[in-house]
Structure formats: C-alpha cells, structure tokens
A = this chain, B = another copy of it.
Amino acid sequence: MDLNDIPLHRDSGTPLHEQLATALRAAMEEGRLPTGSRLPASRDLARSLGVNRGTVQKAYAALVAAGEARAAVGQGTFVAGTGGLAVGILPPPQTAEDPDWERLARWSDRPGVISLAGGMPDARLFPVAPFRESLDAVLAEEGTGLLQYGPSRGHGRFLEVLASRLRERGLDRQAEQLLVVSGSQQGLDLVARVFISPGDAVVVEDPTYSGALALFRMMGARLLPVPVDDHGMVVEHLESLLTRERPRLVYTIPNFHNPTGVTMAPSRRKRLLEICAAAGVPVVEDDSDGELAFDEAPPEPLAAGAGKGGVIYLGTSSKLLFPGLRLGWVAADSQVIRTLEAVKRVADLHTPPLLQAAMANFMMTKACRELVTAVRASYGNRRDALLESLGEEMPAGVSWSKPRGGLSLMVDLPAHISTTDLLSRAVGEGVVFAPGNLFAARRGADHRLRLTYGGVREDEIREGMVRLGRAVRAELNGADQRRFTGKAISPPPLV
C-alpha cells in the first residue's frame, strides 16, 4: 500500500505518533495492510511523511505492544497474524516432522490469507500492562525466591488460587490433590508416562485434540476410538470396549470439545463415570476450553461428579488467559498426584515459580476479570459470525456443529469430498482450515474440516467463509465431474 498519503495534523492536539498508529490500524482493518505484510522501514516512512524517525518508531512500538504488529529481530515489523498459526508455532506433530501442520502454518502466514486453522487465542486482547504490574508486585514481595529452584508440586499461593477457582466450578480439591504443570499438554504427557506402556490400549473420542493423538501415538498406545455426536462421546459404544480391550485410560474432552465444540450431555457423563468406575479404568478429563463459555456459566467439570478419585482432571490458563506462560494444573487422587509429581521432577524439576506467582496475583485483579469478560464476549461474537456466515455461504449437503463455547467447530462435507484436496483450492482462494484427518483416531474423516474462530476478527470470518464457500462449491462441482469422467483434476500448484 502507499503509506505516503497518511494525513498528519501537527496542530490537532493529538501527538503525531498516535495519529500515525491510528492511521496504520485503520489500514490494517480495511485490508490495505494485510496480515503478514511488512511495515516500511521507520527511516523511509519518516522521510516520506516528513516526521522524525522517533515518531514512526513510537507508532510501531504501540502497535507491537497492542499485539497488532510483531517485531522480528533483524527483519522488521510485520502486521500481526490474526488467529492462525505461525511457522514454528505448531501443535504437537503426529510424527517427528509433521508435513500437514507445517504446511498449514506456512500457508497461514501468507500475506492476505485468512486462517481458521490454528487454535491460538487472540493476543490483541491481552492486557500487557496489568500483567507486568503483577510480575513487579510478586518480585517486590517474594524477591529472589522466585528465581531460585522451587517446589515440584507448585508455588503455594498459585495452588491456593487454583483450589479456590476449581471450587467455584464445583470441583472441591485439597492442595495435596493438585499439581502445577507446564500447560495441560504436560499434564497429559505425565499421565501418559505413568499409565501407558507401548501396546497398551487408550480410549479416545473420535475426533479429538491432535496433540493428544500425537502423544498417545508417540507412546506406542493402541487407540480405541469412540465416536462423538452433538451430545459428546457416544458412551453407549464404550462399555463393551472396556471389557473387551481393557484400556489403561479413557481420554475425554467433555466441555466444548476440541475440535467439534460440543458439550457432553449430563446423562452420558453419569453413565461414563459409572461404566469406568465399574471397570476400574481411570478417566482423563481435558478441560482446556471449559471456561470459555459464551451462552451460560462454564459447565461443571466431569470430575465434579466423580467423588474424590476416578477422574484425572487437566486444566490450563492457555485459552482464557496467556498461553505463552505455559501454566496448567492436574487435579486427581493424592496418590496419583504424588506419582505424577515424581515424573514431573524427572521431566523438568518444576514449573517457573515467578510465572506461577505472577499468575496468582493477576488472577485476583480487576484487569483479569475484565479480560475474561472481554474474551468470552469477543469469541462469542466470532462464533456467532461464523455460524451465521456458514449458513449464508455453504451449499446444501454441508453441515456443522454448534458450539456453546470453546474455540472451534467441525464442518461435515458430503462423504465423497476430500478436505485434503479442498485445502489446496481454499488456499488459492485465500482461506486456510485444518483437515479432519488431523483430529481423527482412524482414517476416514477426510470429508470433515475444523474451523477455529478465536483469533480472527468478525469481518475476516465473514470474508473467510465467502472464500471457503467458493472453494467448496468448486470442489463439489469438480468432484461431481471427476465422478462423472473418472478423471482426477490436478489442484493448482501450491508450494
């Protein structure tokens, strides 16, 4: 874009750098500065606008601090990605090098592309200043102790805050039933290391979180998929599986399930707990998205209905608050917690006390309450925009799940469509999604795709669905033609 026409008024009373930042922000919103594009060197822009270089640098710094741009050392300043992935920031891979996710990440980073492929929250909502105050406050209060080795179980104050948060959700656990971990991914990894040996069977929902599939596969587990419908895991399929296959674990995401967004029905929860208790199989509840409720209070964890033992509960601050801090927690029977703590100690000794203390402090602030409200409202509006534009743009024969919370939903295309093929076409249209096979415990989900809406603005969502609608219709026509002529048509080259 031509940035030389930005009007700056020296007498307006608003500092020049603020005027410039506002103008750049507007250019981003209107698509004249697309995602991933590089801002001009500050020296060049200053010269062409006739202002000091410092004015431009101040404007850029404000955009970076607000998450609207990002500074890459030695490379310049770039318009921040919206929602998608970034190369190098990938979900756990299925194999050592996962070509699928890496390709998605590269495509998501292309200028002008709208990505509904990643599961990242919107960093533009993060309030940096209040969190910095929390860091300063705990460093002033606890000093060097926060930089020293800390307890493997977790920082005392953070454990207290967690216990009180979980109680509010209906989960009454004592300190000795809690363990702080480095994100719920680590919680799941520790559980897998304790319970799974190569060849052991593990029940998973199908589809499910790709990071869990990657982990269980890496551990050499045999995956036993149980389908998910609009009411969550189809528990009826579970009972015979438990007696026949004697799995070591049942892994479930009962609240705002990833990738479908559905929530498990109360009757199924009750049945699931009964069946697993009778069979003596531990349930692992991944409640990563459980607090991201849009339409009502967050649902009760499954673990709340399970008495003191039986369910190993995983929570995280990554979805509602700051994923980069890698703070998660496990709530379970105290004997299980002691064993997980021993593995945690061997894995990485402990999670940084500084971040735990700062998070404990931040969670008690007004800024945190405001953030939670803003996040829920914002993602809820995006969910609405996505459901609405899917309704407008998708042709007949396409259906999708209707989440009441979380960050994603699943779209079902006619069974003869391959979303792997569709993806090439969609990228050509300028939109990226995650093909269903990435979330499938067994192949055969190639006609499904996942859309995430956490980090994408409503106008981008609408435009993204216009583009996806075009790609789907073209693919339906192409697929019909292929079925008719029996000949494959090559997708456009996309390296």
Contacts and interface: CB of A to CB of B under 8 A. Distances in A.
Interface of A: 61, 64-67, 70-73, 80, 86, 88-93, 95-98, 120-121, 123-124, 126, 128, 131-132, 135-136, 139-153, 156-157, 160, 181-183, 185-186, 189, 211, 214-215, 218, 318, 322-326, 338-339, 342-343, 345-355
A150 B347 contact: no
A401 to B, nearest CB: 24
Contacts of A71: 141-142, 145
Contact of A324 (B150, B339, B348): B150
A218 B325 CA distance: 28
A352 B338 contact: no
Nearest to A85: B149
A145 B70 contact: yes
Contact of A147 (B128, B149, B351): B128
A132 B157 CA distance: 20
A326 B351 contact: yes
Contacts of A157: 73
Contact of A185 (B95, B323, B346): B346
Contact of A146 (B185, B318, B324, B352): B324
Contacts of A343: 218
A265 B97 CA distance: 39
Nearest to A192: B346
Contact of A64 (B95, B141, B342): B141
Contacts of A152: 88-90
Nearest to A340: B96
B123 A144 contact: yes
Contacts of A124: 144
Contact of A182 (B128, B323, B348, B354): B348
A93 B348 contact: no
Nearest to A153: B88
Given A143-B65, A338-B97, A214 B346 contact: yes
B350 A149 contact: no
A126 B149 contact: no
A352 B355 contact: yes
Counting from the closest, the 7 A-B pairs by CB-CB distance are A67-B144, A88-B151, A65-B143, A147-B322, A123-B144, A186-B348, A126-B144
Contact of A92 (B186, B215, B324, B349): B349
B353 A324 contact: yes
B185 A324 contact: no
A224 to B, nearest CB: 20
A105 to B, nearest CB: 10
Between A66, A142, A160, A326, the greatest number of chain B beta carbons within 10 A of the residue's beta carbon is seen for: A326
Contacts of A92: 342, 345-346, 349
